[in-house]
Amino acid sequence: MSIRHFVLTSLLAALAISGQTLDPHLLTKPATDAWPTYNGDYSGRRFSSLTQINQSNINKLNLSWIYRATPGETPGAVVGGEGTPTPGNGDDGWGAQIKSTPLMVNGVLYFTTPDNTWAVDARSGREIWHYFWRTRGGIHIGNRGVGMYGNWLFFETPDNYLVSLDAKTGKERWHVEIADVKQEYFSTPAPIVVGNHVIVGTGGDSLDVPGFLEARDPETGAVQWRWWSEPLKKGDPGAESWPDEYSMRHGGGMTWIPGTYDPELHLYYLGTGNPNPVLAGQSRKGDDLFTCSIVALNIDTGKMAWYFQASPHDTHDWDSAQTPVLIDGVINGKPRKLLAQANRNGYFFVLDRTTGKNIVTKPFLETLNWSKGVNGAGQPIPNTAKEPQVAGVLVSPPSGGATNWPPPSFDPETGLFYVSTSTSYSEFYLTDTDPHPEGWGAAEKNAGGLGHTLRAIDYKTGNLVWRHNYPGGGGLSGLLTTAGKLLFSGDGSNHLIAFDPANGKILWHAGLAANVSNGPETYLLDGKQYLVVGAGDSLYAFTLAE
């Protein structure tokens, strides 16, 4: 640990004792009396050691409060941004969905929708403040939430600004531009704070631009380091996997979803997006590194320690941005530092997170039909006959993936990895046959399927232990497991459901006004355990009946 890092950590810890700020030590252990980062802690497991709510009393779980978010320039809102104050500015129909996982620190919940951040009393659901960002544009498909450093909050906007707010008042401290919205970047991730680094990423679908990840200074917003998700010139690592500099510099690889972190190894783990042009691969023959990959980066320098590419030369929009979950497990009788991911391409991977060496590769989707098997490095081998064709080709999974961004969960007590999945097919039609296509090079038509399924996977083998098929299609939901022997998820019929994580038996459910739209969380406050979940434009909080 550097002297500067030690001093900063000591200062933050001292302030935390006085109740003024976030104690950084909370980030390294399972969430109990706080939920201080996107996944609860750095591991990505979304597992809570709380047991007050458990199998024996789950039927006494009642609704405690509801908070309905009203995005936009509402009366009393703190207003910032670079755009013009026009009615409905930036809201393209997605803006009211709560896809963020709220942070809960010192009795306050902090959460976002695109262009909006709120602080809400975690006990009562009463609004404390609301911040609204006047946008210059960008796609408003969703926002994953905020990061916190001391008494400062950080969130990203669809027009690619990193904004810092005072957590007490919602007043803006500063904002800095991450990427140019005119190049059709748009930003969705929740910043992750590690030491004095605010880790930010971005997205983009339309123009062929390169992806990147940045570390920013929490005091000023200045760039500390930047890692590009593909090489930019000949001689760079991975350049041999692209045909030329033009293709690699327009190659995509967006950094859509927050990563995870191992404090002992000092490594930050991230899944990267698909290569561009999307779906059409004729101008980028090769593996297209480091797109559709899991990468490990040094948190202080951004230097890549290792990579594992899950979908070489992707032509189906299967980014690898799904959460890389850190597991301290046992393989062949020996303790191992592991990383597990259920990938959008339909494969479950387990890697050694120290070296990146593959341990398990196994399909978790019965209908998967795009690969010829697995090579010696544990990578799927693409079947070129399943690339988009002018006449069309039937592929499973479709571009939406076997799973997607909603976070999975890992329960160390059952040893099972839980993930929401989709079993379906699409016809892919190549529409841009030019040797150098741009943007989206193919069209897709849904061909039906078997709906959505919640799956429990043995991390040691990749074998399916149990599954729950949702009638009527179901829905992709974020997940939460607890030491109370509970697994929380949502279905496609506006229900929040508690399962037995050992066998998938339904123990409890509650009807909501919309489908679960984020990952559930839990925390202990004043001796009472709360369960909080977002559904549509509202937060719901549940507690045990007294």
Query: 166-175, 359-368, 472-481: which range is least confident on average?
Result: 472-481
Residue 58: phi and psi, rounded to 5, are: -60, -30
Q: What pLDDT shows up at residue 29?
A: 78
CA dist 439 and 2 (Å) reads 44
Say if CB 106 and CB 16 are below 8 A apart: no
| Residue 474: band (very low, low, confident or very high) from pLDDT cuts 50, 70, 90 | low
pLDDT above 60: residue 89: no
CA dist 42 and 488 (Å) reads 20
Under 8 Å CB-to-CB from 269, ≥6 apart: which residues? 259, 260, 261, 262, 294, 295, 296, 297, 324, 326, 339, 353
pLDDT above 80: residue 30: no
User: What average pLDDT does the segment 140-146 reach?
Assistant: 95
**H helices within 164-283, ranges in order?**
245-249
Say if CB 428 and CB 316 are below 8 A apart: yes
CA dist 347 and 328 (Å) reads 21
Q: What angle do CA 401, 96, 66 make, to 5 degrees?
A: 110
**Tens digit of pLDDT for each residue in 314-372?**
999 999 999 999 999 999 999 999 999 999 999 999 999 999 999 999 999 999 999 99
| Residue 14: band (very low, low, confident or very high) from pLDDT cuts 50, 70, 90 | very low
| Residue 459: band (very low, low, confident or very high) from pLDDT cuts 50, 70, 90 | very high
| Residue 19: band (very low, low, confident or very high) from pLDDT cuts 50, 70, 90 | very low
Report which of 325, 377, 374, 378 is spatially closest to residue 353, judged by C-alpha positions: 325
pLDDT above 80: residue 473: no
**Tens digit of pLDDT for each residue in 398-448?**
999 999 999 999 999 999 999 999 999 999 999 999 999 988 999 999 998
Query: 7-16, 98-107, 169-178, 280-289: which range is least confident on average?
Result: 7-16
Higher-confidence residue of 260 and 31: namely: 260
Q: What pLDDT shows up at residue 84?
A: 82
**Tens digit of pLDDT for each residue in 477-489?**
999 999 999 999 9
CA dist 177 and 4 (Å) reads 26
3-state DSSP call for residue 425? Answer: strand
pLDDT above 80: residue 472: no
CA dist 39 and 352 (Å) reads 21
Based on its alpha-carbon atoms, the radius of gyration of the chain, rounded to whole angstroms, reads 22
Q: What pLDDT shows up at residue 4?
A: 40
Q: What pLDDT shows up at residue 95?
A: 57
Q: What angle do CA 47, 33, 339 make, to 5 degrees?
A: 25
Say if CB 36 and CB 26 are below 8 A apart: yes
CA dist 416 and 420 (Å) reads 13
Structure tokens at 517: 């739209």
Distances (CA, A) of 214 to 82, 198, 199, 229: 22, 8, 6, 11
Q: What pLDDT shows up at residue 6?
A: 41
Q: What pLDDT shows up at residue 476?
A: 86
Of the residues 317, 319, 411, 491, only one is catalytic, namely: 317
Give yes or no: 180 in active site.
no
Q: What pLDDT shows up at residue 16?
A: 40
Higher-confidence residue of 54 and 205: namely: 54
Annotate 339-373 with three-state secondary structure: EEEECCCCEEEEEECCCCCEEEEEECCCCCCCEEE
Q: Which residue has the tokens 């980030």?
A: 27
Tell me the whole-structure pTM to 2 decimals: 0.94
Q: What angle do CA 188, 190, 196 make, to 5 degrees?
A: 135
Higher-confidence residue of 91 and 169: namely: 169
Report which of 532, 528, 322, 311 is spatially closest to residue 419, judged by C-alpha positions: 322
Under 8 Å CB-to-CB from 14, ≥6 apart: which residues? none
3-state DSSP call for residue 147? Answer: strand
If one counts the domains in the chain, the total is 1
User: What average pLDDT does the segment 254-272 reach?
Assistant: 97
Longest dimension (CA), the chain: 68
Provide the residue type at 296 as one letter: A
Query: Which residue range is the domain that position 138 belongs to?
Result: 3-544
| Residue 286: band (very low, low, confident or very high) from pLDDT cuts 50, 70, 90 | very high
Q: What pLDDT shows up at residue 35?
A: 97
pLDDT above 80: residue 197: yes
| Residue 532: band (very low, low, confident or very high) from pLDDT cuts 50, 70, 90 | very high
pLDDT above 50: residue 10: no
269: CATH: 2.140.10.10
Provide the mean pLDDT of the chain. Answer: 93
Bridge partner residues of 110 (DSSP): 103, 119
**CB-side exposure of 112: number of CA atoms within 13 Å?**
29
User: What average pLDDT does the segment 23-43 reach?
Assistant: 89
Under 8 Å CB-to-CB from 254, ≥6 apart: which residues? 201, 202, 203, 204, 211, 229, 272, 273, 274, 319, 321
pLDDT above 60: residue 18: no
CB atoms within 10 A of CB 369: 16
User: How far is C-alpha 50 from the geometric centre of its chain's CA atoms?
Assistant: 23
User: Above pLDDT 90, what percent of the chain?
Assistant: 88
Q: What pLDDT shows up at residue 65?
A: 98
